[in-house]
């Protein structure tokens, strides 16, 4: 075991009860979007007394806590997101959400607790740190671009030399870390399309211009476009999740609306698919004498992990827990993550941590964003230890 990673596991296990208490307190009172004042207050209380400098900005309740070591050398950023999801919790836990319509179903409560744990561990060894650690507590990850707002507010200036994040996975093997170099998660853009025809009586469609079959034809054409124009080696997924048209059975509506998601694994493919969709929808509608308006709202960019950072993280994790604790992902995951905004500017990586209950069949566990998602709190000790070890070794050695 490398000397800069020794001791972190025992130290993290010692503070695990405090991390569990913090995580569950956050879980009880989940908050949505960019403003998470209750969560921020809990974070500040948990960090009280540590030798940290705080930065806050006008756009969010995000917090940057800065720990300056004895040598002002490299800077490393560690990130944990704060916000919850808009759904009703059905776990039956003693500490289930008491906020109607909000639940920590993506594990951000654990991310906060693990990052607080890392701040405590690293603060205790401040005099041995060869540089600066930035702890990024970030709201608004669930589609609200919180990381981008914190960057735009200047909270992370000057930029660090490396950045790391951990994300729990409830339906993955207990305590196992995973990651990969290159694209880890997809970009996520929102597709809005409105087909406009001419309304009329449903019994006389020849006197109207029905937008519904045109919209259905467009949905089919989108899937054909993806399979025929998008390389399997640079993939894309376009899913239409909602079709909305009409009011009753005997009226042909004037409009039909489509709402969908666009996922890609490269900036080039992201742009190419958007161009095709803006051409395809209006073209098919025009062929029927109708029209179609297309709007694409850009979401998170592709999450691209630096190969050096992934290799470095694997080394640190294997030094801490052995080679069996690391698995390289064979393929990216088509979910999205706004840590991508940080990784666009700073070399770094995100790793996943399996949080199924030890001994359970992790394949049967409810996944992220499920209203029944539960996880094993004990993995947070591993997460805090890895955060601390990544920071200490990077400040000491860089990527090596």
pLDDT tens for residues 6-32? 589 999 999 999 999 999 999 999 999
Per-residue pLDDT tens over the stretch 89-119? 999 999 999 999 999 999 999 999 999 999 9
At 24-60, the pLDDT tens digits run 999 999 999 999 999 999 999 999 999 999 999 999 9
Do the Cβ atoms of 152 and 94 come closer than 8 Å?
Answer: no
pLDDT in tens, 238-260: 999 999 999 999 999 999 999 99
Axis-axis angle for helices 211-229, 267-287 (nearest 10): 140
Q: Give the mean model confidence (pLDDT) for residues 312-316.
A: 98
Q: Roughly what angle, to the nearest 10 degrees, separates helices 37-47 and 8-28? A: 150
Q: Check: CATH 3.90.960.10 for 8-184+302-397?
A: no
236, pLDDT greater than 50: yes
Q: Which residue has the higher pLDDT, 348 or 6?
A: 348
Question: Percentage of the chain with pLDDT > 70?
Answer: 98
| Secondary structure of residue 36 in the 3-state scheme | coil
CA distance 372 to 364: 12
Q: What is the pLDDT of residue 5?
A: 53
pLDDT tens-digit map of 71-87:
778 999 999 999 999 99
Collapsed DSSP state (helix, strand, coil) of residue 277: helix
For residue 181, the SS3 value is: coil
Do 357 and 170 contact (CB within 8 A), yes or no? Answer: no
Q: Which two tokens stand for residue 381?
A: 């000790």
Task: Find tokens 């921020």 and name the residue.
Answer: 40
Mean pLDDT, range 167-177, rounded to an integer: 94
Span 283-305, pLDDT tens digits: 999 999 999 999 999 999 999 99
Does the pLDDT value for residue 400 go beyond 90?
no
Domain extent listing, the chain: 8-184+302-397, 187-297
Largest CA-CA distance found in the chain, in angstroms, rounded: 82
Decide if 8-184+302-397 and 187-297 have a common fold. no
| Token pair belonging to 75 | 């800077």
Nearest to 172 by CA among 22, 26, 393, 373: 373
Q: Give the mean pLDDT of 162-181.
A: 96
Q: For residue 363, name the pLDDT band (cuts at 50, 70, 90).
A: confident
pLDDT of residue 1: 44
Residue 357 has pLDDT above 90, yes or no: no
Statement: 187-297 belongs to CATH 3.20.20.70: no
């Amino acid at each position: 075991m490398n000397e800069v990673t020794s001791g972190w596991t025992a130290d993290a296990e010692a503070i695990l009860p405090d991390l569990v208490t913090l995580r569950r307190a956050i879980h009880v009172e989940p908050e949505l979007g960019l403003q998470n004042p209750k969560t921020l207050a809990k974070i500040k209380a948990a960090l009280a007394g540590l030798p940290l400098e705080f930065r806050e900005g006008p756009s969010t309740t995000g917090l940057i806590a800065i720990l300056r070591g004895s040598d002002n050398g490299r800077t490393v950023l560690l990130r944990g997101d704060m916000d919850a999801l808009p759904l009703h919790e059905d776990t039956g836990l003693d500490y289930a959400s008491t906020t109607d319509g909000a639940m920590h179903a993506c594990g951000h409560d654990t991310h906060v607790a693990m990052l607080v744990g890392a701040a405590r561990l690293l603060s205790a060894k401040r005099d041995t740190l060869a540089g600066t650690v930035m702890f990024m507590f970030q709201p608004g990850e669930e589609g609200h671009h919180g990381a981008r707002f914190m960057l735009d507010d200047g909270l992370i200036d000057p930029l660090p030399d490396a950045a790391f994040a951990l994300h729990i996975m409830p339906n993955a093997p207990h305590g196992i870390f995973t990651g990969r170099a290159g694209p880890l998660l997809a970009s996520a853009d929102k597709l809005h399309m409105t087909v406009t025809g001419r309304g009329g009586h449903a019994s006389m469609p020849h006197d109207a211009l029905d937008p519904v079959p045109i919209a259905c034809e467009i949905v089919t054409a989108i899937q054909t476009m993806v399979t025929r124009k998008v390389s399997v080696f640079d993939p894309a997924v376009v899913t239409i999740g909602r079709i909305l048209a009409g009011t009753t059975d005997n009226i042909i509506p004037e409009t039909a609306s489509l709402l969908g998601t666009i996922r890609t694994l490269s900036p080039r493919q992201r742009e190419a698919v958007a161009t095709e969709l803006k051409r395809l929808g209006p073209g098919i509608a025009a062929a029927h004498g109708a029209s179609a308006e297309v709007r694409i709202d850009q979401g998170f960019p592709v999450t691209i992990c630096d190969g050096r950072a992934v290799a470095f993280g694997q080394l640190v994790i294997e030094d801490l827990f052995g080679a069996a604790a690391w698995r390289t992902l064979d393929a990216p995951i088509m979910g999205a993550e706004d840590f991508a905004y940080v990784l666009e500017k700073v070399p770094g990586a995100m790793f996943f941590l399996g949080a199924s209950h030890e001994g359970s069949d992790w394949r049967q566990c409810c996944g992220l964003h499920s209203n029944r998602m539960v996880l094993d709190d004990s993995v947070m000790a591993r997460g805090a230890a890895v955060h601390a070890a990544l920071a200490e070794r990077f400040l000491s050695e860089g990527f090596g």
